[in-house]
Amino acid sequence: MAVDITPMTIDVPDSVLQDLQTRLEMTRFPNQVSGTGWERGVDLDYMKELVDYWLHEYDWREQERRLNAFQHFKADVEGLGIHFIKQEGKGPNPMPLFMMHGYPWSFILLLKILPMLTDPESFGGDPEDAFTVVIPSIIGYGFSDYPDQQGFGFQHHPEKYDKLMTEGLGFEKYGIEGGDWGGFITAPYGFHHPENLTGIHLNCLFPRLGDERPEQDKDPDFLRGLGMKWAPIKPEDPEMLQYWKNVEQYWIDEGAYCHQQMTRPQTLAMAMADSPVGLAAWIIEKWRNWSGWYEDFEELFPRDMLITNVMLYWVTNSFWSAIRLYSESYYNGWELPPGQRIEVPTAVAAYPHELAPIVRKRAEMYYNVVHYNDYDAGGHFAIHERAEEMARDLREFFRPLRNQ
């Protein structure tokens, strides 16, 4: 079946915006224990201020116009609709690059870096390093569809994206980049479609890629809580011990959302599909905490950007399908076969404030790492927070690979 691609314009019906207005006006807020602030989730005063701004100052139609300045398309890939932006590179031989976002992101988090990659000369770079960039709304997110089937996890995404890039857009080879779920997806992507990839660039390496327990730890009577069944009981290597301690701390402090989305997504989706304020609270709390900027997070993410990201979940009613990625990947897991790794040339941009900072030797267990940088600042949203630095890293990594 041929991949059919048609131009697309974002145009949310007035009825959807009117319904949203009514729901925001009718918001019923909970109470909050005095002085707790953000200690147990979103701060009540902040959310009241945000809703007031959303109602009286935020302009979706203006944001819609800005988003439509980019070239949007919708591809039909074997009956599945995938939305994407395609921006042509300005240079003698732009290289195709497919860039994947994560949760609770959307494609807007990659828009800052986009011109730095497509037009490097305007940012002090070499036009020889230009990319033609394709940024999708990953399957189930925003304007992209979700297949009406169980078992469609992150490991099934690459086949659809590869068809889009090769059969739909006609690229013989291309690079991929990912953070958060996008980084996770690079593993099955590189394992199953290496022949079409020039290289892999990632800035997030999550725990669930393979079983790292020694044989003596594989006792069925051991309890394996908090989604860490792949972790050794007590790593002997000090670096790996610290890595798994970081993972454990993340699960304890931040992992409740993940466990809910893995195990009971439909229950949560009922609330989020009905309450825009609940949806905003659920998403924005993560942007604040995971950025590491805390009380200054609106300096990194302007308020209009925060709300626009939430709007892309709301106007498409896609929160339910977005979090299915957690559930289907959990109940239908995938990992690399024992003793194998991804042999596609790989670059790792490691940031100190990532949720579980990358350890080089662990990345090398799973990927053919040929380019590695440990940066001294930046975190989970580095693709936006450290956009210029990330753009340089991408150019440097792919430069020697372009003509191979």
Q: Are 214 and 189 in contact (CB under 8 A)?
A: no
DSSP of 213-280:
--GGG--TTS---TT-TTS-SS-SSHHHHHHHHHHHHHHHHHTHHHHHHHH-HHHHHHHHTT-HHHHH
72 has catalytic annotation: no
Instruction: Phi first, then psi: give them for residue 135, nearest 5 degrees.
Output: -120, 110
Roughly what angle, to the nearest 10 degrees, separates helices 238-254 and 256-263?
Answer: 70
180 has catalytic annotation: yes
The single residue of 101, 156, 201, 380 carrying the catalytic annotation is 380
Compute the C-alpha angle 346/393/356, nearest 5°. Answer: 65
CA distances from 387 to 223, 376, 390 (A): 41, 14, 5
Q: Are 51 and 26 in contact (CB under 8 A)?
A: no
Most distant CA atoms of the chain, gap in Å: 61
The single residue of 43, 119, 162, 180 carrying the catalytic annotation is 180
For the chain, first and last CA: distance in Å?
30
The candidate with the shortest Cα–Cα distance to 183, out of 164, 203, 197, 199, is 203
| Separation between Cα atoms, residue 269 and residue 102, nearest integer Å | 18
Q: Where are the alpha helices (DSSP H) in 125-180?
A: 157-163
| Separation between Cα atoms, residue 161 and residue 144, nearest integer Å | 12
296 has catalytic annotation: no
| Active site residue ranges | 180, 326, 380
